[in-house]
Amino acid sequence: MEFKNYIGGKWQPGRAGLTFDAVNPANEEILAQIQAADVADVEAAVQSAKQAFKAWRLTPAPLRGEILYRIGELLKVRKEELARLLTQDMGKVIAEARGDVQEAIDMAFYMGGEGRRLLGYTAPVEMPNKFGMAVRDPSGVVGIITPWNFPIAVPSWKIFPALVAGNTVIWKPSPETPAISAAFVKVFEEAGLPAGVINLLLAPGAEVGKALVSHPDVRVISFTGSTGTGRAIAESAAKLNKKVSLEMGGKNAILVLDDANLDLVVDASLWAAFGTSGQRCTAASRLIVQKGIAPKVKEALVARTKELRLGDGLDPKVDVGPVINKVALERIHGFVEIGQKEGARLLIGGGKADVGGKGFFYQPTLFDGVLPGTTLEREEVFGPVLSIIEVDSLEEAIEVNNRSQYGLSTSLFTQDVNQAFTAMRDIASGLMYVNHGTTGAEIQFPFGGVRGTGNGHREAGQTALDIFTEWKSIYVDYSGTLQRAQIDNRPQE
Ligand code: NAD
């Protein structure tokens, strides 16, 4: 297979003629050759997006929404084909890959509906014969930079709201998932999206992303990825007064109280910690357990972790696929070694897994006795490693949860409604679940995190439109006279 960049409605090689490989992490085979974009292609993409914006912003929003519906229908038809390519490109098991595509289908229809909403508002005004309203304007050319772990879902949270609001898009996906990114954009082309409205740049390294962020004609940057990259982007974009939305790292926790349903806790913890091999932004990496139930939770978790099957995600019997690449494998193992040095007890796992001598597999790993302030308690591992922390009470569990530098997703297991409502009030995270693991968001609600995870924006739901639109307040005075607000309707001294 070979994939190219998509600029101005044409599939094209990069201007520098460079290539890179897409590698299947389950078997280390080359999945596709990619024609790499470089900085000169950023300029071409910006010019094409600027040109396309002139007509796209004037295309009635309901018609823009209808193109999203067509994209949604095509994604339904292509769901299995895309899911299989996604698994080969980044490794997640096929059931999860189908979920990734489904999220984009849901988002296409949800945002398609926005074509007939994009709600602004009117409010009374203080002068007679005058009218006031606030409407959403598109921002212009937007840059979208995404990670590899949800290679269709995360881009869809950004691209669909951007398009329905009338913006044109330049998308730079992760170099780890170029094949599935190009296949996704092919669907937009097939659905009849006009040339230049979406542009795709496939590139290794950071240069193309940096050029997009520092280009003065790209007015918005919507980024999902690691906290370090997000901060660098925010600094660069600030120099040009750009709007930036950042969705970054997590250190998510499951809180388990003594009265919790043990079987449910174990099912949910395995899914939240080891699904996508722990490489979800919402993956549970801390299990904060009340002391009474802790021995039973540990025993059951170890037993069930032993049963997990590792392998190529295309095999429907496999529970845990590979991690993304060799660098990630080494990084995860580095965290495990540090954890042991800092005194945590390894309950199971703790090493690279041999799956037929190929692929980047890491054993699902459980640590016990993880102490406050240690690396495993603080840092995002982004791999299949779950750290167990024991506490005395709900209050202590909340305190441990909230002191993290990140604040994306927290879940609580209890049968006690009073405890549940106390936690709902006091947990400081962007997402919270009661009696469910830390993953499983639905696209109709705001998604995002606090502290080191985000910069105050939210994706999905109605909030998805905020970063991609500018409010314009319009006053129409039909009195035929000069009416000075705040002055002419007040007695003068
Ligand atoms: P990353 O930060 O390495 O890369 C993300 C994207 O930024 C990639 O497309 C990359 O090429 C690009 N990039 C890298 N350096 C850049 C620069 N200087 N300027 C512009 N672009 C640059 O992250 P990753 O390894 O792809 O993804 C994993 C991270 O993403 C984890 O930290 C995870 O928690 C986070 N994530 C967060 C969410 C969320 O919603 N909060 C969702 C998914 C993933």
Ligand 1 within 6 A of CB of 222: no
Q: How confident is the model at residue 492, as a pLDDT?
A: 86
The alpha carbon of 339 and the centre of ligand 1 are apart by a number of angstroms equal to 24
84's CB contacts (< 8 A; 6+ apart) are 94, 97, 314
The tokens 């390894």 sit on which residue?
A: 346
Determine the atom of ligand 1 nearest the C-alpha atom of 281. 34
- The yes-or-no verdict on residue 461 having pLDDT over 80 is yes
Q: Looking at ligand 1, which atom is closest to the CA of residue 228?
A: 2
Measured distance CA(476)–CA(491) in Å, rounded: 24
pLDDT higher than 90, residue 116: yes
Q: What dihedral angle (degrees, nearest 10) is formed by the CA atoms of 48, 49, 51, 57? A: 160
- Percent of residues, the chain, with pLDDT higher than 90: 99
Q: Which ligand 1 atom sits nearest the alpha carbon of residue 148?
A: 26
Q: pLDDT (tens digit, 9 = 90+) per residue, 259-305?
A: 999 999 999 999 999 999 999 999 999 999 999 999 999 999 999 99
Q: Is 73 a catalytic residue?
A: no
149 to 23, 153, 211, 275, 319: CA distances (angstroms): 14, 9, 23, 11, 17
Mean pLDDT of 465-470: 98
Write the DSSP assignment of 138-178 as a string of letters. Answer: E-SEEEEE--SSSTTHHHHHHHHHHHHTT-EEEEE--TT-H
- Average pLDDT over every residue of 228-253: 97
The label of the residue with tokens 């660069």 reads 236
Question: What SS3 state is found at 205?
Answer: coil
Contacts of 362 (CB under 8 A, 6+ apart): 277, 323, 329, 332, 333, 349, 351, 352, 353, 383, 384
| Residue 372, pLDDT above cutoff 90 | no
Q: Which of 224, 404, 408, 458 to mutate to test the pocket of ligand 1 (most atoms within 8 A of CB)?
A: 224
Q: Could you tell me if the CB of 224 is within 6 A of ligand 1?
A: yes
Instruction: Give residue for tokens 């929404």.
Output: 65
Q: What span, in angstroms and rounded, lies between the C-alpha atoms of 22 and 155? A: 18
Q: Is the pLDDT of residue 493 over 80?
A: no
Q: Which one of the listed residues 176, 281, 377, 459 is annotated catalytic?
A: 281
The pLDDT-based confidence of 450 (bands split at 50, 70, 90) is very high
Say how far apart CA 232 and CA 210 lie, in whole Å: 9
Ligand 1 atom 13: residue of nearest CA: 206
State the Cα–Cα distance between residues 478 and 441, nearest whole angstrom.
Answer: 47
172 pLDDT exceeds 90?
A: yes
Q: Is 233 in the pocket of ligand 1 (CB under 6 A)?
A: yes
- Give catalytic status of residue 281 as yes or no: yes
172 lines ligand 1 (CB under 6 A): yes
Q: Which helix or strand (DSSP H or E) is residue 134 part of? A: strand 130-138
Pairwise CA distance, residues 26 & 286, whole Å: 27
Q: Which atom of ligand 1 is nearest to the CA of 175?
A: 11
Q: What is the pLDDT of residues 406-441, one digit of tens each?
A: 999 999 999 999 999 999 999 999 999 999 999 999
Of the candidates 302, 288, 245, 252, the one whose C-alpha atom is nearest the C-alpha of residue 272 is: 252
Identify the burial level of 475 via C-beta atoms within 10 angstroms of its C-beta, where 0-12 means exposed, 13-18 middle and 19 or more buried: exposed
CB atoms within 10 A of CB 236: 16
pLDDT interval class at 21 (50, 70, 90): very high
| Contacts by 352-357, CB closer than 8 A, 24 or more apart | 353/310, 355/26, 355/310, 355/311, 355/312, 355/322
What is the DSSP-derived secondary structure letter of residue 371?
P
Q: How far does the centroid of ligand 1 lie from the alpha carbon of residue 81, in Å?
A: 25
Q: Are 178 and 87 in contact (CB under 8 A)?
A: no
User: Is the distance from the beta carbon of residue 100 to the nearest atom of ligand 1 less than 6 Å?
Assistant: no
* Bridge partners (DSSP) listed for residue 470: 137
Q: Which two tokens stand for residue 466?
A: 């905020």
Measured in Å, residue 172 CA sits from the centre of ligand 1 at 11
How many other C-beta atoms can be found within 10 angstroms of the C-beta atom of residue 62? Answer: 15
Per residue in 179-222, pLDDT (tens digit) is 999 999 999 999 999 999 999 999 999 999 999 999 999 999 99
**CA atoms of 395 and 174, how far apart (whole Å):** 40
With a threshold of 0.95, does the pTM exceed it?
yes
Q: What is the rounded distance in angstroms from the CA atom of residue 306 to the CA atom of residue 22?
A: 31
First-to-last alpha carbon distance for the chain, in angstroms, is 79
> Which amino acid, residue 441?
A
Active-site residue, selected from the candidate residues 114, 247, 377, 380 = 247
Structure token pair of residue 277: 């091999």
Is the Cβ–Cβ distance between 256 and 413 less than 8 Å? Answer: yes
User: What's the mean pLDDT in 235-258?
Assistant: 97
170's CB contacts (< 8 A; 6+ apart) are 42, 45, 46, 49, 141, 142, 143, 144, 199, 201, 212, 218
Q: Is 249 in the pocket of ligand 1 (CB under 6 A)?
A: yes
pLDDT in tens, 63-101: 999 999 999 999 999 999 999 999 999 999 999 999 999
